[in-house]
Structure 1
Amino acid sequence: MTLFTMFAHRKESDLFNTCRYLLGNLKVNFTNSGLSDTLHNHVEYPSLLSIKDTLFEYGIESAAIEKGPHSYEAFETPFICSIQQDDWPRAGFTVVTRAENGQIDYLDPLTNKLKQLSVEEFEKMDKHIILLLDTATPKHEVHFSANKKRERDRMLVKRVPLCLTLAAIVFAAGHLFSQPVGTYTWLGAGFLLFSFLGLAVSSLLIWNEIDAHNPFIKEVCGGKGKKINCDAVLSSSRASFMGISWAVWGFSFFAAFFTTQILFPGNIGFLLLWSVISLLVSPYIMFSVYYQWKVVKQWCPLCLAVQVVLTANTTIAAFCLSGSAALSEGFALYPVAVVILVGLSFLLLTNAAIPELKSARDGRDYEKKWKKLRYNPEIFEALLDKSERVTAPVDGLGIVVGNPRATHEIIKVCNPFCGPCAKAHPELEHIIHTNPDVRLRIIFAVSGEGGDIKTRVVAHLMAIQQECDTVKMQSALDDWYLAPVKNYDTFAQKYPMNGELSEQSGKILAMRDWCETMKIRATPTIYVNGRELPDSYRVTELKNFF
């Protein structure tokens, strides 16, 4: 894949491309940001499990199996598997769209385009783990419209710097050619073009300094051959000068160069000054090439691209300085001062920013590792075992939502006007809707006195459970807890009850007695399989265990 192609198609992970292709073919409404966030926020990302759980969020159930001796034609397409060619640094996930007549159609992880191979050739790449998919009931992304608007806003913000840069180039070029066109006009246009190209390439080198493991950077930096390795060059002993990496020097050089060309297009003083500077730095071209060739014996594609740009600048500088009458008059103080101040500013800011950006990246990595440890089921169970246990029986108490024969039970002790209880409600509903082996038991902590509005609401909810089906019960809970303003009269009109309300006093008193026995002092109090949820965990985190 060429560098231009990779810039045109922003490198995404093969996991993202696989899921995006599958959802697109199923006509599912989704946003790239929503899909990407779901994948990247998964504790096991990047893995087949992260794909499995992400697709489940879009209504696609799946099961991973070993291929074994079965033929590909025996599996219903589409299915997902992992493949790796000899020159790939790691395996990539792909979606197989067709497997018949000895041919396999699959999504190439590198080009993100459909490709066809014979079964024999595909078999050599396949890792023999297949994720079978049930695509019968896909569902659209939750909050799709809001996510789409947010994604458009983000895209506009991200495009602003590029648009401003391109606009600056256009205005600078327009100013150059609005004057009588001469030698200095073309030389100025050349400096403008190559300073921009140098800035673009050196920006990738800075990106490599910050995150060398980024898939896009790794592809730009090679890996296609034994002699191509950016890391070997950029981490070598001569990869810095005065304690500052050559990547930072290069970026600062081109940033200052490009900035002055934008602000002072065609200015003879700046053209002459940068011509002299370009000639002064030209020996670095030979040093870099020789160092990669003879010392490190590895090639850095980005470093070579920088040398090409420097060579072009040196050529332009030679034309600019040859027979220039202005050079004999010396340099004006203003261009020299501007270049020094701008250059030093970029140098100091870049050198200071890189450690901070590295720390931010490392912080995200550490957070992911911490979450992986935190959401380990064995650790969670060990912490649960140390928590307070439910000592009073709960049979017949409260409202049970979900499969009554489920293996796991979550108890939520709450009151109907508790704000945190309302926030916990959709999180727990999501768990029981996506996992039939979990049920939710809601126990209300209220006084049981007739004049208490909380008691009246609970009596109404208990009456609905007694008289109505599960669907209406869940609907009533949603209407109450998700309402922005909780008005009992409005709720009672929507779910009218008569004498059933007076029949609930015994149930309410039983829940009150249970809460007193368990010494419930705050709501919501959550119990998981008879043990209190540890203080260090939140309700929103329970989805990582069920």
Structure 2
Amino acid sequence: MSIATLFASKKENDLFKTCHYLLKKLQVNVTHTGLSETLQRHVEYPSLLAIKDTLFEYGIESGAIEKGVHSYDAFETPFICSIQQEGWPIACFTLVTSTTAEHIEYLDPITEKPISIPVADFEQIDKHIILLLDTTAPRDEAHFVENSKKQRNHMLTKRVPVFLVLAAILLAGGYILSQPVGMQTWYGLGYLLSAFLGLVVSSLLIWNEIDAHNPFIKEVCGGKSKKLSCNAVLSSSKASLMGISWSVWGFTFFATFFTTQVLFPANTSFMLMWSVLSLLVAPYILFSIYYQWKVVRQWCPLCLAVQAVLAVNALMAVGCLPGTPAFITAIAPYTMAAILFTGLFFLLLTNMAIPQLKDARDGKSYEKRWKKLRYNPEIFQALLDKSDRVTIPVDHLGIVVGNPQATHEIIKVCNPYCGPCSKVHPELEHIIKTNPDVRIRIIFTATGEDTDKRTPPVAHLLAIQQKYGHEKVQLALDDWYLAPHKDYEAFAQKYPMNGELQEQQEKIFAMRDWCNDMKIRATPTIYINGRELPDSYRVNELRNFF
């Protein structure tokens, strides 16, 4: 796998590419942001289960099987499988788009282009686990419009720093070329470009210090080569000075160099000062090469790139200094002060930022492990068993939505005008839509008295269930809870009744008595299979169990 290819495809992994390619092929409206977030918040990410559950969000049902002795053309395409070619550190998911007895066409997870190879060749790289797909009823991404705006803002935020750096280089370069052309012009351009290249390479060294396990960094640093290893060099005993790693020193040097070249392009005083500094650091080139060659006996490609840039700077410095008479007096005190304080700023900033970035990286890792523990069904059930249980039967109480014969029942005790109850409604709706073995029982806290404003909408919802059944009342619940304003008069006009409202009072009284006996003090109160939802869990987390 080449570095260029890896860099071009590092932004998104194979799970994202596979799902995105499939959804686009099915003409589903999907955003990078929405798909990526859905995949990454899955407890088992990255895995085939994460793909399966993510595609379900887009209306695509699936099932995983072992290929066994079956031929590929026996399976309906498209389907998802896992492949690993020689030289790949891990297997990658791919989408098979068509199969014949001789050839198979699939999405290359690296280039993101469909390719066709003989079945025998594909058999050698396939892991023989296939995710069959039902693509008959795909649906667009939920909150597609909102996610599209979020994605545009995110992309703009990410690109602004790149555009600013490029603009700074072009402006500085343009200013240099606008001056009378001479040796100072070419040295100025040379320093500007070398400072930029040094900044890029030293930034990769900082990235390596923060996340040495990143696939792109690992490939840049030699991949599986036994002679190339950035970590072996950068973690050695001589890889620091005054307790600060050479990566930080290098980044500070080039960040300061680049900043001053952009702010003071082809400035004689700054060019002379950097010429002196370039010659002063030149001995480090020999030290670094000798240290990697004879002591560590491994090479750091990024370190060698830094030495190459330093060597170019030193050569330009040799040419720049002799042609300048009395060059020492030409270096203004302001120049030295500007370089000194800019360097101190970058040194302190980098030293403070690296631990924070490491903590952020580790925090994501710990969060992932914590979620796997938190969403373990056995642990969740153990906590449920310790919580308060429903001691009074709920048969024939409230409104039931979902499959009436479902094994699992979630009880939601709510107030029709309760804001938090409205917020959990779509979460519970999602559960019953994605899991036919779960039903929701809604019990209201209305008193049934005429003076209670909760009574009319509750009576109306009960009447809709009585007159039209579970499916109609489910739509009515959506109309009520998802409305931005709870307007009972408008709701009643949409679902007219002829005397059914007067038949609901006993049902409301029964729910009121149940709530009083169960000592319901807040809404919504959630029970899972007769046990109250533990305080440490939220309703939106229930989708991890159902």
Shift of 1:532: 0.8
- Aligned residue number for residue 393 of structure 1: 393
- Aligned residue number for residue 468 of structure 2: 468
- Aligned residue number for residue 523 of structure 2: 523
Q: Does 1:12 align with 2:12?
A: yes
Query: How far, CA to CA, are the matches of 2:485 and 2:11 in structure 1?
Result: 46
Could you tell me which amino acid in structure 2 is paired with residue 351 of structure 1? N
- Aligned residue number for residue 412 of structure 1: 412
- Tell which deviates more after alignment, 221-230 or 144-153: 221-230
- Aligned residue number for residue 242 of structure 2: 242
- Aligned residue number for residue 269 of structure 1: 269
Shift of 1:354: 0.6
Query: How far, CA to CA, are the matches of 1:232 and 1:110 in structure 2?
Result: 28
Query: How far, CA to CA, are the matches of 2:420 and 2:433 in structure 1?
Result: 21
- Aligned residue number for residue 140 of structure 1: 140
* Equivalences for residues 190-269 of structure 1 within 5 A: 190-269=190-269
* Equivalences for residues 440-455 of structure 1 within 5 A: 440-455=440-455
**Residues 347-385 of structure 1: CA distance to partner in whole angstroms, max 9, x if unpaired?**
111011111111122122211111110000000000011
Q: Contact 2:5–2:111 (CA<8 Å) still a contact in 1?
A: no
Q: 1:129 to 1:291 in 2, by over 3 A?
A: farther
TM-score normalised by length of structure 1: 0.96
- Aligned residue number for residue 122 of structure 2: 122
Q: Does 1:427 align with 2:427?
A: yes
Q: Contact 1:11–1:216 (CA<8 Å) still a contact in 2?
A: no
- Tell which deviates more after alignment, 309-318 or 131-140: 309-318
- Aligned residue number for residue 501 of structure 1: 501
Q: Contact 2:211–2:358 (CA<8 Å) still a contact in 1?
A: yes
Q: 1:71 to 1:289 in 2, by over 3 A?
A: farther
Query: How far, CA to CA, are the matches of 1:477 and 1:329 in structure 2?
Result: 83
Could you tell me which amino acid in structure 2 is paired with residue 58 of structure 1? Y
Shift of 1:237: 2.0
- Aligned residue number for residue 511 of structure 2: 511
TM-score normalised by length of structure 2: 0.96
Shift of 1:523: 1.1
Query: How far, CA to CA, are the matches of 1:511 and 1:366 in structure 2?
Result: 44
Q: Contact 2:411–2:443 (CA<8 Å) still a contact in 1?
A: yes
Could you tell me which amino acid in structure 1 is paired with residue 364 of structure 2? R
Q: Contact 2:172–2:262 (CA<8 Å) still a contact in 1?
A: yes
- Aligned residue number for residue 293 of structure 1: 293
Q: Contact 2:401–2:471 (CA<8 Å) still a contact in 1?
A: no
Q: Contact 1:13–1:215 (CA<8 Å) still a contact in 2?
A: no
Q: Contact 1:12–1:216 (CA<8 Å) still a contact in 2?
A: no
Secondary structure in 2 matching 1:464: helix
- Aligned residue number for residue 478 of structure 1: 478
**Residues 206-251 of structure 1: CA distance to partner in whole angstroms, max 9, x if unpaired?**
1121122223323333314332322222222222221111111111
Shift of 1:127: 1.8
- Tell which deviates more after alignment, 323-332 or 236-245: 323-332
* Equivalences for residues 313-332 of structure 1 within 5 A: 313-327=313-327, 329=329, 331-332=331-332
- Tell which deviates more after alignment, 108-117 or 469-478: 108-117
Query: How far, CA to CA, are the matches of 2:305 and 2:98 in structure 1?
Result: 41
Query: How far, CA to CA, are the matches of 1:11 and 1:238 in structure 2?
Result: 34
- Tell which deviates more after alignment, 267-276 or 119-128: 119-128
Q: Contact 1:29–1:141 (CA<8 Å) still a contact in 2?
A: yes
Could you tell me which amino acid in structure 1 is paired with residue 93 of structure 2? F
Could you tell me which amino acid in structure 1 is paired with residue 367 of structure 2? E
Q: Contact 2:3–2:216 (CA<8 Å) still a contact in 1?
A: no
- Tell which deviates more after alignment, 208-217 or 501-510: 208-217
Q: Contact 1:15–1:93 (CA<8 Å) still a contact in 2?
A: yes
Query: How far, CA to CA, are the matches of 1:229 and 1:53 in structure 2?
Result: 38
Q: 1:232 to 1:126 in 2, by over 3 A?
A: farther
- Aligned residue number for residue 90 of structure 1: 90
Q: Does 1:377 align with 2:383?
A: no
Could you tell me which amino acid in structure 2 is paired with residue 182 of structure 1? G
Unpaired runs of 5+ residues, structure 2, are none
Shift of 1:261: 0.2
Unpaired runs of 5+ residues, structure 1, are none
Shift of 1:392: 1.3
**Residues 72-106 of structure 1: CA distance to partner in whole angstroms, max 9, x if unpaired?**
22222221122223422222212222222322322
- Aligned residue number for residue 337 of structure 2: 337
- Aligned residue number for residue 62 of structure 1: 62
Shift of 1:43: 0.9
**Residues 296-328 of structure 1: CA distance to partner in whole angstroms, max 9, x if unpaired?**
233322222222222222222222123332426
Q: 1:225 to 1:71 in 2, by over 3 A?
A: farther
Could you tell me which amino acid in structure 1 is paired with residue 145 of structure 2? S
Secondary structure in 2 matching 1:273: helix
